[in-house]
Amino acid sequence: MNALWIAFSTLTLLPMPSSNPSPVELKRSVLFFPLVGGLFGGLFMLIHRFPLSTDLQTILILLLWVGLSGAFHLDGLGDCLDGFFGGKDPQDRQRIMKTADLGTYGMTGIALTLIFKAVLLIHLLGQYNIQYWLLAIPIAARWAVCLSCFISRPPEGNQGLGSFVMGSPLPVFLAGSLLAVAGCFVLQKYAVGLFIIAAVISVAVSRLSQKRIGGLTGDGLGATIELTETALLFYACLNTMRLPL
């Protein structure tokens, strides 16, 4: 149970019951990441049932999306953009990523991500029978992080929280994958595309991070979630849009 609470406290603002989790518990918590996505998705579905216009529903969902996660993932995306494209070498890029200041790359990336999500949500919420997409997208995005933790290693000497979940064992990845498949099964044939896109982004971010800073960090995991969610919203819109006859 401690690993479950660690997963929720790592990816959300919910408090952690244990202040000193062991390395084993941290790695084991990865299998519950899709379950955290299920919490987000369930709340999105609930908001979608409110008798409100699509733009108001979009605002509420975005506020919840950012607020419940504490904007951790957006912060990770901004740090990665500043570091990957602003530093001279791996050490300099890691230094930039650790600073509290937000640079031009990071600020632009965060702004564009929120704009893309807002526009895509407005379009998606205007379609019929999209409640299962709202559930599956955050689940698949956090499964992408399960994959990242399985295939990636942290940069040498990195002691951030993200470094302790890297290199998660195969049983943890498989258990997390089963949870994700169970949560996304409601989309039936569309679930395959969902996982393919999530896997492609996970591998791409992991390889880029390996090339730029020598490994993947917690910031990279946050960036993976944000980029995957945005891409999956676009995928959902393509599959739900009503084309004129």
| Per-residue model confidence as pLDDT tens digits over 191-215 | 999 999 999 999 999 999 999 999 9
First-last CA distance in the chain: 52
In the DSSP assignment, the letter for residue 146 is H
Give the three-state DSSP class for 230.
helix
119 domain-assigned: yes
More confident residue, 243 or 45: 45
State how many domains the chain has.
1
Asked if pLDDT for residue 229 goes beyond 80, the answer is yes
Burial, 19: exposed, middle or buried (Cβ in 10 Å; 0-12, 13-18, 19+)?
A: exposed
12 domain-assigned: no
**Cα separation values, 10 from 71, 128, 144, Å:** 12, 34, 15
pLDDT for position 18: 58
41: which residues sit within 8 A by CB, 6+ positions away?
A: 134, 135, 136, 137, 138, 139, 183
pTM: 0.93
8 domain-assigned: no
For the chain, how long is the longest CA-to-CA vector?
60
What range does the domain containing 159 cover?
30-240
Give the three-state DSSP class for 29.
helix
6 domain-assigned: no
132 domain-assigned: yes
Tokens of 131: 């409640």
- Asked which of 12-21, 52-61, 144-153, 186-195 is least confident by mean pLDDT, the reply is 12-21
**For all residues of the chain together, what is the average pLDDT?**
91
Q: Are 172 and 31 in contact (CB under 8 A)?
A: yes
Cα separation of 122 and 81, whole Å? 26
The average pLDDT across 103-109 equals 93
The average pLDDT across 48-55 equals 94
pLDDT for position 245: 33
Tokens of 74: 């957006």
Query: 157's torsion region: left (phi>0), alpha (psi -120 to 50) or beta?
Result: left
> What is the band of 19 on the pLDDT scale with cuts at 50, 70, 90?
low
171 domain-assigned: yes
Tokens of 121: 């949500």
pLDDT for position 17: 66
Q: In this structure, what are the phi and psi dihedrals at residue 143, rounded to the nearest 5 degrees? A: -65, -35
- Asked which of 59-68, 89-98, 153-162, 216-225 is least confident by mean pLDDT, the reply is 153-162
Cα separation of 229 and 238, whole Å? 14
The average pLDDT across 6-25 equals 81
23 domain-assigned: no
190 domain-assigned: yes
84-88: Cβ within 8 A, 24+ apart: 84/208, 84/209, 84/212, 84/213, 87/212
Asked if pLDDT for residue 160 goes beyond 80, the answer is no
